[in-house]
Amino acid sequence: MLGYVMTEDRGGTDRLLAELAEGFEVEGRRVIGAVQINTELPNQIKCRMELRLLPGGARVTISQSLGALAKGCRLDPDGLERAVHHAETALEAGADLVVINKFGKQEIEGRGFRDLIATALSEGIPVLLGVNTKNFDAFQAYAGDFAEPVAPELAVLREWCLGKM
């Protein structure tokens, strides 16, 4: 019950997962996790990255400004950990579905949403997450044959989720 989605266009997976989660929330389904919202900033090369926390919709900034010439990771680990804590607390109340914006560097290193993913799966709650090509091999090493790809189309994602709930 672990599905993953990948898109080719920049920010496409984020938009798709956000739309999916919002639709399920409107229907009254209990969706937990986080979806990413990127906001372009005037006179800035890099966008501001935020996570919209599920449920509830509060936002947590997960990027930090490192300066115009910085090449390193812009992730604010404190922001990510606040999002993870919110999702872990929400999971205690039960969930129909877990949606995670990305299996990223933090998850590859055993942090981030990794424990939440394992807990949800052990409780029989389906998990859908985004994966980018840069992290795909590490994700495959983590999930193996247990994860199944889901086509990056809203109707297909909905069908997959509804079939697992």
- CATH number, domain of 138, equals 3.40.50.300
Residue 70 has pLDDT above 60, yes or no: no
Residue 101's domain comprises: 2-164
For residues 119-142, average pLDDT: 96
Q: What is the 3-state secondary structure (H, E, C) of 12-65?
A: HHHHHHHHHHHHHHHCCCCEEEEEEEEECCCCCCCCEEEEEEECCCCEEECECC
> What's residue 72's pLDDT?
46
Percent of the chain with pLDDT over 90: 75
What rounded mean pLDDT belongs to the chain?
89
CA distance 79 to 60: 6
| pTM, entire model | 0.89
CA distance 150 to 18: 15
What's the structural domain count of the chain?
1
Percent of the chain with pLDDT over 70: 87
CA 151 to chain centre: 16
- Contacts of 75 by beta carbon, 8 Å cutoff, 6+ apart: 49, 62, 63, 64, 104, 105, 106
Instruction: Grade residue 73 by pLDDT with cuts at 50, 70 and 90.
Output: very low
